[in-house]
Amino acid sequence: MQTLHFVLEENMLEVDCPCVTPEVVLKASGHVDKFTDLMVKDEKTGTCYRADHLLKDFCNEKLQKDLTISTEKAAEFRHVLAVLDDLSAEELGAKIKEYGITAPDTKNPLSDPYPFNLMFQTSIGPSGLLPGYMRPETAQGIFVNFKDLYYYNGNKLPFAAAQIGQAFRNEISPRQGLLRVREFTLAEIEHFVDPEDKSHPKYSEVANLEFLMFPREEQMSGQSAKIICLGEAVSKGIVNNETLGYFIGRVFLFLTRLGINRKRLRFRQHLANEMAHYAADCWDAEIESSYGWIECVGIADRSAYDLRAHTDKSGVPLVAAEKFSEPREVEKLVIAPVKKELGLAFKGNQKNVVEALEAMNEQEALEMKAALESKGEVEFQVCTLGKNVCIKKNMVSISKEKKKEHQRVFTPSVIEPSFGIGRIIYCLYEHSFYTRPSKAGDEQLNVFRFPPLVAPIKCTVFPLVQNQQYEEVAKEISKSLTVAGISHKIDITGTSIGKRYARTDELGVPFAITVDSTSSVTIRERDSKDQIRVNVDEAATVVKAVTDGLKSWEDIWTSYPHHSSESADD
Ligand code: AMP
Could you report the per-residue pLDDT of 521-568, keeping only the tens digit for each? 999 999 999 999 999 999 999 999 999 888 999 999 999 999 887 655
The reported pTM is 0.85
What's the whole-number average pLDDT of the chain? 93
Over residues 491-517, the pLDDT tens digits come to: 888 788 889 999 999 999 999 999 999
| Atom 11 of ligand 1, nearest CA residue | 420
Query: What pLDDT does residue 83 have?
Result: 87
CA of 134 to the centre of ligand 1 (A): 15
Atom of ligand 1 nearest to the CA of 137: 2
pLDDT score for 568: 55
Question: Torsion-angle region of residue 549: left (phi > 0), alpha (psi -120 to 50) or beta?
Answer: left
Contacts of 169 by beta carbon, 8 Å cutoff, 6+ apart: 118, 119, 136, 182, 184
With 0-12 / 13-18 / 19 or more C-beta atoms within 10 angstroms meaning exposed / middle / buried, residue 348 is exposed
Ligand 1: does its nearest atom lie under 6 Å from the Cβ of 171? Answer: yes
Q: Which of 184, 301, 426 to mutate to test the pocket of ligand 1 (most atoms within 8 A of CB)?
A: 184
Separation between Cα atoms, residue 503 and residue 507, nearest integer Å: 7
Q: Mind listing the pLDDT tens digit for each residue in 437-453? A: 988 888 999 999 999 98
Rounded to 5 degrees, φ, ψ at 91 are -65, -40
Nearest Cα residue to 415 out of 167, 168, 248:
248
CA dist list (Å): 552 to 395, 451, 453:
77, 10, 11
DSSP 42: B
563 φ, ψ (degrees, to nearest 5) = -130, 130
Distance in angstroms between the alpha carbons of the first and the last residue of the chain: 32
Pairing of strands 265-269, 226-229: unpaired
The dihedral formed by the CA atoms of 53, 54, 59 and 65, expressed in degrees to the nearest 10: 110
What does the DSSP assignment read for 122-142?
EEESTTS-EEEEE-S-SHHHH
Residue 355 scores a pLDDT above 80: yes
Cα–chain-centroid distance for residue 277?
18
Q: Which atom of ligand 1 is the closest one to the Cα of 284?
A: 10
CA atoms within 13 A on the CB side of 195: 17
Instruction: Quickly count: other Cβ atoms within 10 Å of residue 388's Cβ.
Output: 11
Q: Is the CB of 270 under 6 A from ligand 1?
A: no
Report the distance separating Cα 411 and Cα 406, nearest Å: 17
Higher local confidence (pLDDT), 193 or 5: 193
Q: Which atom of ligand 1 is nearest to the CA of 294?
A: 12
For residue 66, how far is its CA from the centre of ligand 1 (angstroms)?
32
Of 295, 302, 425, which is best to mutate to test ligand 1, by the most ligand atoms within 8 angstroms of its C-beta? 295
Q: For residue 270, give the nearest of 223, 234, 217, 232 by alpha carbon.
A: 217
Q: In testing the pocket of ligand 1, which one of 418, 425, 426, 428 has its CB within 8 Å of the most ligand atoms?
A: 418
Distance CA 286, CA 267 (A): 6
